[in-house]
Amino acid sequence: MIQILDKSFDVYIPEATLEARIKALAEDINQAYAGRTPLFVSVLNGSFMFTATLFKYLTIPCEITFIRVASYHGTASTGSVKEVLGLQENPADRDIILLEDIIDTGRTLEALLPLFGTARSVAVATLLFKPEALQANLDIAYVGFEIPNRFVVGYGLDYLGQGRNLPCVYQLWEG
């Protein structure tokens, strides 16, 4: 059990399990994108650790860029998606793979997808997915772990700005 500010969390996905699953996702992507040079678009801040781990296991030619969206405060989604910052590369005719830390309501992703309308293809890879929270009609090609609708931190994900450094995924303690 760990404490971040006013809340307690316990380990939900250990580090070795995360590493092994992300490696398997990378191997799937290596196969699916053989002969292409995808442009990965990593959605900061939360996806930085997932992105770094995935990248170690990619063996295909590939490029990466980083964008930013902010829409979440505390432990409940505000439901409002703010500005998208940082997309400098032209997605036209590219094979885009969006990298997300977590898909909750799906609203963030839904707001991002129109930016890639001119791409040759768009796929989504997310470390975590909460199917019970989903409020959008989305096709998610690569999912690390499906998790219940409970707040998680660690491995890049934060609680009020803290906890991103934790090497495991932790779940809010409600005991």
CA–CA gap between residue 57 and residue 106 (Å, rounded): 27
Residues within window 110-149 making contact with ligand 5GP, judged by CB under 6 A: none
Number of residues that bind ligand 5GP (CB under 6 A): 19
Smallest separation (angstroms) from Mg ion to the CB of 175: 27
**Catalytic residue list contains 93:** no
Q: Are strands 95-103 and 121-129 parallel, antiparallel or unpaired?
A: parallel
Minimum distance of ligand 5GP from residue 65's CB (angstroms): 17
Q: Which residues bind Mg ion (CB under 5 A)?
A: 46, 101
Of residues 60 and 133, the one with the C-beta less far from Mg ion: 133
- Rounded Cα gap, residues 155 and 152, in angstroms: 10
Say how far apart CA 137 and CA 39 lie, in whole Å: 23
Active-site residue among 28, 93, 95, 104?
104
Q: Does 48 bind ligand 5GP (CB under 6 A)?
A: no
Which of Mg ion, ligand 5GP, none does residue 65 bind to, with CB < 5 to 8 Å depending on kind?
none
108 binds ligand 5GP (CB under 6 A): yes
Other CB atoms within a 10 A radius of the CB of residue 123 amount to: 17
50 scored as a contact of ligand 5GP (CB under 6 A): no
Nearest-CB residue for Mg ion? 46
| CA 91 to each of CA 25, 64, 172: distance values in angstroms, whole numbers, following the listed order | 23, 12, 37
The smaller minimum CB distance to ligand 5GP, of residues 26 and 103, is found at 103
For 5-153, where are the E strands, in sequence order?
A: 7-13, 39-44, 63-69, 72-73, 76-77, 84-85, 95-103, 121-129, 142-146, 152-153
Q: Contact between 171 and ligand 5GP (CB under 6 A)?
A: no
Residues known to be catalytic = 104
